[in-house]
Amino acid sequence: MNNNKLSVLFLIDRTKQNKQNKCPIKCRLTFKGKRKQFSTGFFINPKDWKSKLQKGSPPNKNNNYINTQLSLIKQQINQAFLFLQVNNEQFDAEDIYLQLKGITRKKDKTILEVFQAHNDKVEKLIGKEYVLPTLWKYKQAKALLKDFISFHYKKNDFQFKDLEISFIKEYEFYLKTEKKLAQSSTYKAIQRFKRIVKIGLSEGYLDKDPFVMYTCKNPKTQIVYLDSNELAKLEEHSFAQTRLKQVRDMFIFCCYTGLAYAEMSALSSEHVIDGFDGNKWIKIHRKKTNVKVSVPLLPKALAILTSQNNISSNKLLPVISNQKFNSFLKEIAEIVGIEKRLTHHIARKTFATTVLLYNDVPMEVVSELLGHSKLDITQKHYAKVVQKKVSEHITLLARKLDK
C-alpha cells in the first residue's frame, strides 16, 4: 500500500440513527498511515447505502442529492490535497481536513517556542500545581537547550518536525563536555527536555518519539545518613563552644523530625499544635513541593525545641544561613570523629532511615512524614535501606527456625 496516496472513504455510522431512522454519513481521510474522520452533515437510510459503490441507491430525489454532495466533497478534498502538495513540503490527514474547511493549517512549532509556552503555564500555576524552584529548573533547562542549539546548529531555534535521536545524543554529549555537567545534572536536563517532546507529540508537532531508542543513564545516588552509633556519638558529645552546640542540637532536631533546611528556618510557634493524640505535632508546608507535612514531635525533638526557643524573633530555632550551618557541621564532624561529609540534608536522611525505617516504621508512613508527593519517590530513594532491614529480619528468623 502506498502511504503517500490519499484515500477518501465515505461510511455510515449505524450506531447513531436519528428520529427518521437515518444514519449520519462520515468521511474518512487516510494519508501516510494516519486517518482523519469527520461528519459530512448528511443522513441516509442505512438500507439505501451501498458501501462498495460509495453512494446511495436506488436512485431517488434524496439519494441523488446526497450522491451529488458527496461527489462535491470528494472533489474539494482532492483540491485541498493538490494545494498542499504544491505549497507544503510536509502535511498529514489533519492538514488536508483543515485546508478543506478553510482553517489555517497548524503551524510548525519550534522546540524553544513550545518550551517557553510550557514555562509560561508553570509560572501561572505557581502555588497551585507547582512551586517556584520547579520553574527555575525548567528555565535553566530551556537556557541549556538554547545554548546547545546555538552552539551545535548555529541557529536561534530548531523545528520540532526535524527532531531526531541524533539531536538528543549530541545534546547529552554537549552537556557533559561543553557545560561539564555531572551525570545526574545531565540526566535531569534531558528528562525536562523529554517532557517538552511529549507535549510536541501530543500536539502533533512531530510524528515519532525520538526518545524511543534513546537511554540516558540515571545515576543511582547512595543514601548518606548517620547510623545509630554515629547519631548517639553526636548526641552525647559535650561542646565547649555555644555555636557548635546550638548547630548540633538543631541538626539532631531535624534527625528526629525530618525537616528540611527551609522548613527548619521557617519554624515558628504557629506550626506547633496539639495533635489528636494529645501530643505536640509540627504542621508545615514543604517549600519544595508545597505538600502539607504533619510530624509528631518525638521526646528528643521536643526537648531541643524547648531549650532553643528563640522568642525574640518568633522563631522556634535560631536562624543560620545554610552555608554557615553546613560549615559548622563540617567542624562538628571533625571534633566528634564522624568521617562522613556532614550536611543539613543528612539529618533528613537519618530521620527516614535510622529513626524510622530501622525501627520498622512502614514505608507509606515514612513517605507521609517526609512530605513526599508520591510513595514511589520514597521507595526509589530508600529501597536499599529496606532490603537491608528485610535481610536482618530474615537472618533473625533463620536463627529462630534453626533452634
Provide the pLDDT for residue 128: 82
Q: Note whether residue 83 is domain-resident.
A: yes
Cell representation of residue 3: 502511504
Whether 61 and 153 map to the same domain: the answer is no
| Residue 89 in this model has a pLDDT that exceeds 70 | no
Report phi then psi at 41, rounded to 5. 90, 5
Provide the pLDDT for residue 154: 93
Cell representation of residue 176: 557533559
Specify whether the CB–CB gap between 66 and 56 falls below 8 A. Answer: yes
Specify whether the CB–CB gap between 197 and 209 falls below 8 A. Answer: yes
Q: Note whether residue 223 is domain-resident.
A: no
Whether 245 and 194 map to the same domain: the answer is no
Q: Note whether residue 222 is domain-resident.
A: no
Identify residue 140 by its one-letter amino acid code: Q
Provide the pLDDT for residue 150: 95
- Among 77, 100, 123, the domain-final residue is 100
Q: Specify the 3-state DSSP secondary structure of 93.
A: helix
* Distances in whole angstroms, Cα of residue 341 to Cα of each of 23, 85, 104, 317, 321: 74, 65, 60, 23, 18
CA distance 193 to 138: 9
% of the chain beyond a pLDDT of 70: 89
- Among 144, 167, 202, the domain-final residue is 202
The whole domain housing 35 covers 7-100
The residue-averaged pLDDT of 76-101 equals 86
Alpha carbon 57 to its chain centroid, in Å, reads 55
Mean pLDDT, rounded, of the chain: 87
CA distance 322 to 287: 15
Whether 312 and 395 map to the same domain: the answer is yes
Provide the pLDDT for residue 400: 73
Provide the pLDDT for residue 312: 47
Whether 339 and 266 map to the same domain: the answer is yes
H or E stretch covering 384: helix 375-402
Which segment of 11-15, 36-40, 108-112 scores lowest on mean pLDDT?
108-112
Whether 253 and 339 map to the same domain: the answer is yes
CA distance 186 to 44: 59
Domain CATH for 281: 1.10.443.10
Q: How confident is the model at residue 269 (pLDDT cuts 50, 70, 90)?
A: confident
Whether 140 and 182 map to the same domain: the answer is yes
**What pLDDT digit, counting tens, does each position of 119-158 carry?**
999 999 988 888 888 899 999 999 999 999 999 999 999 9
Q: Note whether residue 219 is domain-resident.
A: no
Whether 383 and 286 map to the same domain: the answer is yes
Whether 24 and 164 map to the same domain: the answer is no
Whether 115 and 95 map to the same domain: the answer is no
| Residue 309 in this model has a pLDDT that exceeds 60 | no
Provide the pLDDT for residue 41: 94
H or E stretch covering 302: helix 299-307
Q: Note whether residue 273 is domain-resident.
A: yes
Q: How confident is the model at residue 375 (pLDDT cuts 50, 70, 90)?
A: low
Provide the pLDDT for residue 151: 96
Report the largest interatomic distance among the alpha carbons of the chain, rounded to a whole angstrom. 106
Provide the pLDDT for residue 370: 80
Q: Note whether residue 57 is domain-resident.
A: yes
Concatenate the DSSP letters of all residues of 321-334 into one string: -HHHHHHHHHHHHH
**What pLDDT digit, counting tens, does each position of 165-216 carry?**
999 999 999 999 999 998 889 999 999 999 999 999 988 888 889 999 888 8
| Residue 217 in this model has a pLDDT that exceeds 90 | no
Provide the pLDDT for residue 311: 44
Which segment of 7-11, 178-182, 205-209, 280-284 scores lowest on mean pLDDT?
205-209
* Distances in whole angstroms, Cα of residue 82 to Cα of each of 6, 68, 86, 99, 105: 10, 21, 6, 10, 14
ω into 58 cis (within 30 of 0): yes
- Among 54, 78, 100, the domain-final residue is 100
Whether 140 and 86 map to the same domain: the answer is no
Q: Note whether residue 1 is domain-resident.
A: no
Give the number of domains in the chain. Answer: 3
A 10 A CB-CB count for 132 gives 14
CA distance 107 to 156: 18
Provide the pLDDT for residue 37: 94
CA distance 126 to 134: 9
Whether 278 and 180 map to the same domain: the answer is no
Cell representation of residue 43: 443522513
Which segment of 204-208, 237-241, 376-380 scores lowest on mean pLDDT?
376-380
The residue-averaged pLDDT of 373-381 equals 62
Q: Note whether residue 251 is domain-resident.
A: yes
Residue of 91 and 58 predicted with greater confidence: 58
Burial of 300 (0-12, 13-18, 19+ CB in 10 A): middle
Whether 264 and 121 map to the same domain: the answer is no
Which residues on adjacent β-strands are paired with residue 23? 44
Domain CATH for 194: 1.10.150
